Amino acid sequence: MAQEEGQPIFSEVTCQEIAQWASAYLDEHVEDERKRHIALHLAICAGCETYVKQIATVRDVVGILPKAIEQPSDSQRLRQAFVARARRLPASR
């Protein structure tokens, strides 16, 4: 049994297609049959499985913290408060 690297085994989708469909797949905006093919590919392709998991994680974070990403002013205010506090500290040593 020779190993053929880089060849899809019995999945009908390629890694490139997984990359294209990852978002739609996570949104369940793909047909059932396509979803099955994608799931099958993810089961046999560690690279794509990791890729889709990473996208899912990023989307979770963005979904939970939309304000933190849209409003950088919070971190700016924190930094200003930090700088103001540092100025008040005696410059001993």
CB of 46 to Zn ion, least distance (A): 8
Site for Zn ion in 5-24 (CB under 5 A): 15
Q: Which two tokens stand for residue 1?
A: 């049994």
Q: What is the largest CA-CA distance in the chain?
A: 75
Q: Which residue, 42 or 84, has its beta carbon nearer to Zn ion?
A: 42
Those residues whose C-beta lies under 8 Å from the C-beta of residue 35, and which sit 6 or more positions away, are: 25, 28
Main-chain phi, psi angles of 17, to 5 degrees = -70, -35
Point out which span in 25-33, 40-48, 59-67, 73-81 binds Zn ion (CB under 5 A).
40-48
The size of the interface with Zn ion (CB under 5 A), counted in residues, is 3
Among 13, 22, 45, 52, binds Zn ion (CB under 5 A): 45
Question: Is residue 5 within 8 Å of 45, Cβ to Cβ?
Answer: no
Q: Which residue, 47 or 66, has its beta carbon nearer to Zn ion?
A: 47
Q: Which two tokens stand for residue 57?
A: 């994680």
Interface residues with Zn ion (CB under 5 A) are 15, 45, 48
